[in-house]
Amino acid sequence: MKQYQRALAILATLAIGFVGTVRAQQFGVQPLGANYSVQYVNVFYNPLAGGTVLPGGPDPNNPIFFRNFTGSIDMDDGTADSIPVGFTFDYNGSLTNTVNININGWVSFNLVDLVPGGSLQTTPPGPFTVKPVNGIPITPANNNTLFSSVLPNNCVAPYWGDHFYRTTESGYHPSRISYLTSSIPDPNPNKCNPFARIHTFTVEWRDLNINDKTNPNSIASFQLLIHENPLANDCSAPDHRAIVEFQYGGEGSSGTVQTVGAAVGANDSAGFTHINALFVTASDPNSVANNTSARTTTWPPTSNLPGRAIDLIPQGRNVLAVWGDGDADLSQVYSTNPQVRNNQSLFVTLNDAMTVLQAAANGVPLDSIEGANAFHGDCNHNGQVYNPTYGAYFYYTTPYDAAYIMMYLAGKLAQLPWPTPLPVPGFKSSDIHSTEVSGVVADVSNVNVNGNTILLPITVRGNVNGPLSVQMDLKGLEASGVQFVGTKSIGGGIMCSNASLGRVTLATSGEFADGSTVGYLELRAPANTNAEFDLENVQVNDVDLAPSHVALKLSGADVTGVNSLEQNAPNPFVVSVTGQTTIGFNLAQPENVTLRVFDVLGHEVRTLLAGEGRTAGYNTMQWDGRDGNGNVVAAGTYYYQLTTPDFTQGAKMQVVR
């Protein structure tokens, strides 16, 4: 099933171009035009002094040079790759600290990810790992790719044309392409980093043979500057978004620069959206600035006035995309609480696990583009798929990611992401996380029947210590006249289902011995019905397991009921004037029931049922989010506990205000 899921993810990315713009506008850090505005500013052009010169060929003192896909020297369309910037910055919601410089006047960014234990709150942030790319992003001179999904992506272009790097050719002025990282003291140092500095990374294309290779006089100079955000050093709420600037020098001495046909602007990580910087977003409609593919007609491209530069200024709220941070429902984007952005304990909730789990149950993958739902939900980092067509990564989730979120919420993981190669700590310090499950079966010997409703326990064969996820399909029920209604979770776990597909998903965490019940299937059938069906496509913790056959014999059977407590719904629970959440529980026989709510310190908040008699079967009780004095409780985590004379079980819920 794992390979099948990967195949589906790859197929989805191949088709994503048709709907990419629509999806980019709905989710994550896209589109590019929503995060940056274009401004023209008056800046005098200063030729870059010093810096590292990128040679025209192999240099023993500089291993970086312009080459094509084969590694050969290419002074026409070549790229110098993986050049260190000297600081880490955020471009359109993704982190980067190395770039690729192309002769034709563009730069692409290599994305990085925080490693476990890394932090965005430190100065500098990190540590990071670089996302691998299949080959360096080298393209022909065709600058249409700036306005499409064709490589390169994550690209900024101060003057993308068909240029040539001249060295010692007779009759041509030598070119020079160089880069430099400079810094100044932070004018507003803070207590946690009083010696912080603000960095600028500059790339200069000097005396480049512009657009017309046959004309030695078509020469001009221009620069790309990446200005670090001063708020990157803010310890309380760092903002790593950089300002991208394009500057333009004078023409060659003859003033005969071929200025027609260059592209100026930027595109996103998949090439779904772009900004055409020939349009100022303050005066031109966004639909023009973000969708047009117009090219230059003058030098400099800012309207034929020397001293003008183009700035791409970060706009709106900063939401830095962190791969696998658990925020599958994008609460960092949509929450009105400013503290959510910087506090993982606030933006990762049970609803994130439910989001991942329900997507798997419905067979509809979460949005897979960079910065969207699946990107955040891939907590164990095993759902990354590189698509060479777009030069971008796409992401998918499985119920195992939901189980990792459950581990985090249970306090057993210090943070998310927690990549799969790392050992997952067990629930006891003396234990090592392990999953030794050989199968998932339905326990027909402990069926709970109430009228036409059947609760069928699902058990694991083997031992589990840590996260546990299950995905499986029920096949063959229709022939038995039995209807699959849904699922019932037990304390500490969550379950989702899609009755029309017969799909069941589960995520939980804890210690489970061989034969432990982890949830229930809810079926509906006429009295004294026998049924046979199969559990197929079974997957536990992303590992495919053998199917199992279920023979449910209810006619004349002595059926024993079981007590169980459900996860409240909805959860998280939004407190309002009329809002309430429902707590469901099953009783094997009539019982006197006590149901209480506690805060995280164990203090009783409210008693919902105090030894009250309830009938056998399925029961419910509502809570309106108020304490025993009628006061609305604070947002946070709460626990509820069901107690009968011979049974006690608890579960956790989230309250949101």
Region 269-286: mean pLDDT is 78
pTM comes to 0.60
Q: Is the pLDDT score of 382 beyond 80?
A: yes
pLDDT at 206: 93
* pLDDT in the model for residue 41: 84
The segment with the largest mean pLDDT, out of 67-76, 346-355, 409-418, 480-489, is: 346-355
Query: Which of 114-128, 381-395, 413-427, 478-492 shows the lowest mean pLDDT across its residues?
Result: 114-128
Q: 403-421 burial, b for 16+ CB within 10 Å, e for fewer?
A: bbbbbbbbebbebbbbbee
- By the 8 A CB rule, do 232 and 117 touch? no
Choose the weakest-confidence range: 274-278, 304-308, 437-441, 619-623.
Answer: 304-308
Q: Can you give the pLDDT at residue 179?
A: 96
pLDDT over 80 (residue 217): yes
Q: What is the mean pLDDT of residues 267-285?
A: 79
> What per-residue string of b and e applies to 304-333 under the rule 16 or more CB within 10 Å gives b?
eeeebbbbbebeeebbbbbbbbbbbbbbbb
H or E stretch covering 245: strand 243-251
Domains of the chain, first to last? 1-28+322-398 (no CATH), 29-314 (no CATH), 434-553 (2.60.40.680), 566-656 (2.60.40.4070)
Locate 104 and state its tokens: 């034709």
Q: Is the predicted pLDDT of residue 562 greater than 70, yes or no?
A: no
Q: Give the lowest-confidence range in 139-148, 171-180, 604-613.
A: 139-148
Looking at per-residue pLDDT, the higher value among 617 and 360 belongs to 360
Q: What three-state secondary structure class fits 491? A: coil
Look at 259 and 29; give whichever has higher pLDDT.
259
Res. 229 pLDDT band, cuts 50 70 90: confident
| pLDDT-derived band at 285, boundaries 50, 70, 90 | low
Closest Cα to residue 632, out of 575, 571, 573? Answer: 575
Report DSSP state, residue 501: T
Category of 492 on φ-ψ map: left (φ > 0), alpha (ψ -120 to 50) or beta: left
Give the integer Cα–Cα distance in Å for 640 and 629: 18
Scored b (16 or more CB within 10 A) or e, 191-223 reads eeeeebebbbbbbbbbbbbbbbbebbbbbbbbb
**pLDDT confidence band for 19 (50 / 70 / 90):** very low
Q: How confident is the model at residue 223 (pLDDT cuts 50, 70, 90)?
A: very high
In this structure, what token pair is assigned to residue 451?
A: 């009228």
- Mean pLDDT value of segment 500-508: 93
- Split at pLDDT 50, 70, 90, the class of 338 is low
Mean pLDDT score across all residues of the chain: 80
| Residue 367 contacts residue 374 (beta carbons within 8 Å) | yes
Asked whether the beta carbons of 211 and 261 are under 8 A apart, the reply is yes
pLDDT for 141 equals: 62
Is residue 620 within 8 Å of 614, Cβ to Cβ?
no
Residue 5 has pLDDT above 70, yes or no: no
Q: What is the pLDDT of residues 508-548, one digit of tens each?
A: 988 888 888 999 998 887 766 777 889 999 999 999 998 98
At 135 the pLDDT is 43
* Closest by CA position to 267, among listed 17, 31, 95, 19: 31
Say how far apart CA 186 and CA 196 lie, in whole Å.
Answer: 6
pLDDT tens, 413-458?
A: 888 888 765 565 554 444 445 667 888 888 888 888 777 788 889 9
Q: Identify the pLDDT of residue 421.
A: 56
- Please tell me the number of Cα atoms within 13 Å of 599 on its side-chain side: 12
Percentage of residues of the chain with pLDDT beyond 90: 25
> Pairing mode, if any, of strands 392-395 and 36-42?
unpaired
Task: DSSP for 73-118, please give it.
Answer: B-TTT-EEEEEEEEEEEEETTEEEEEEEEETTTEEEEEEEEEEEEE
Q: What is the C-alpha separation between 221 and 166, in angstroms, rounded?
A: 13
pLDDT of res. 337: 74
95-133 residue pLDDT tens: 889 999 999 999 999 877 665 555 555 556 666 565 654
pLDDT confidence band for 25 (50 / 70 / 90): very low
Task: Please tell me which of 88-102, 177-191, 564-578 the model is most confident about, judged by mean pLDDT.
Answer: 88-102
Give the number of C-alpha atoms closer than 13 A to the C-alpha of residue 189, restricted to the C-beta side.
Answer: 10
The single-letter code of the amino acid at 387 is N
Q: List pLDDT tens digits, range 69-99.
A: 677 888 888 888 889 999 988 888 778 899 9
Q: How confident is the model at residue 58 (pLDDT cuts 50, 70, 90)?
A: low
pLDDT tens digits, one per residue of 234-252: 766 677 889 999 999 877 6
What element of type H or E holds 402? helix 399-409
Once rounded to an integer, what is the mean pLDDT over residues 278-298?
Answer: 75
pLDDT of 265 over the 60 cut? yes
Burial class from Cβ neighbours inside 10 Å (0-12, 13-18, 19+) for residue 52 reads: middle
Dihedral over alpha carbons 296, 301, 302, 306 (to 10 degrees): -150
pLDDT of residue 16 exceeding 60, the answer is no
The continuous run of DSSP H or E covering 286 comes out as helix 286-289
Q: Please report the pLDDT score of residue 26 as a whole number.
A: 33
Q: Tokens for 306?
A: 């020397």
Cα Rg of the chain, angstroms: 30
